[in-house]
Amino acid sequence: MMIHGKLQQAATAMAVLALVALGGCGGQAGIVSSGPALSEGEDSAAYLDRLSSQQTVSEDDAMRGVLMLMDGKDAAGSFEQRVERLRQHGVVGERWDFQADRPLTRGRMAYMVHQACKLPGGVVLTLTGPSERYCLRELQYRGFVAPGAYYNPVSGMEFVAVLTRADAYLETGEVPETLATGGK
């Protein structure tokens, strides 16, 4: 009972921090499924609140979050428009297939955040270019993301926390010291 209360308090605190932080701030694969439309008129606070309680984040929700991170809003009217906008900015992989309702993997999340924040990479990223695996390793090293495999799904709370750290990085050039990972 005590642990559940502390987890709930931590989740609430993380959601509030995220709301404050994001409030201001070879061939191409196809789009397999466009999925259901997101809530009409959902602002960033409502989006983050809804997302923080989800067991997994869908690709559609993730793309919406990355657009909010980059532009402060999601002006796209559909999943297809989100994909196209992120492709134009080089934030999604050229060969990815897209499915709106598919759970987001940690590797895809890391790739999108790495590209959206225009983070410099280590030796491997510099030599080979970005990949899901090495973007995740870079974000883990910098303290954006907790340890874990690139193929695991992302929870809503984890995604909100990563967006919060990414937003702080874009504002200050530094990642808040909230994880014991990282090489600093």
> Domain ranges in the chain?
2-172
Q: What is the pLDDT of residue 37?
A: 43
Instruction: Return per-residue pLDDT of the chain as tens, 184 residues.
Output: 444 444 344 444 444 444 434 443 344 455 554 444 445 556 778 888 999 999 999 999 999 999 999 998 888 889 999 999 999 999 998 899 999 999 999 999 999 999 999 998 888 888 999 999 999 999 999 999 999 999 999 999 999 999 999 999 999 988 887 654 444 4
Instruction: Provide the 3-class DSSP secondary structure of residue 181.
Output: coil
Q: What is the pLDDT of residue 123?
A: 87
Report residue 110 CA to chain centroid gap: 7
| Torsions phi, psi for 105 (to 5 deg) | -95, 160
Which of 21, 65, 60, 45 has its CA nearest to residue 170?
A: 21
Which of 51, 56, 91, 52 has its CA nearest to residue 71?
A: 91
Q: What is the pLDDT of residue 175?
A: 86
